[in-house]
Amino acid sequence: MNSVGEACTDLKREYDQCFNRWFAEKFLKGDRSGDPCTETFRRYQRCVQKAIKEKDIPVDGVDFMGPNKDKPEKPGSS
């Protein structure tokens, strides 16, 4: 699947592979030894957040789990 930032697709796929492995082999098995994908995610986010700003996609300030429902916490910016 492609990223919204054309230049970010390779970084996205690298992060997705790392996450999917961690999710199935660690997180779901109760292993809380930490997230090995932090650096990969950071590189990916630097690229995709730039693309989001350039395309003027309105993601800023949107409450987590949508307005007026469930959890009110707002995710931090990456």
Which residues contribute to the site for another protein (CB under 8 A)?
1-5, 8, 12, 15-16, 19-20, 23-24, 27-28, 30, 32, 35, 41, 44-45, 48-49, 52, 57-59, 62, 64-66, 69-71, 75-76, 78
The CA–CA distances, whole Å, from 15 to 5, 62, 69 equal 14, 24, 30
Contact 29, 69 (CB under 8 A): no
Residue placing its CB nearer to another protein in the complex, 39 or 59: 59
For the bound state, the minimum distance from the C-beta of residue 10 to another protein, rounded and expressed in Å, comes to 13
Letter for the amino acid at 59?
V
For the bound state, the minimum distance from the C-beta of residue 75 to another protein, rounded and expressed in Å, comes to 4
For the bound state, the minimum distance from the C-beta of residue 1 to another protein, rounded and expressed in Å, comes to 4
Q: How many residues does the chain have?
A: 78
How far apart are the C-alpha atoms of 21 and 12, rounded to whole Å?
Answer: 14
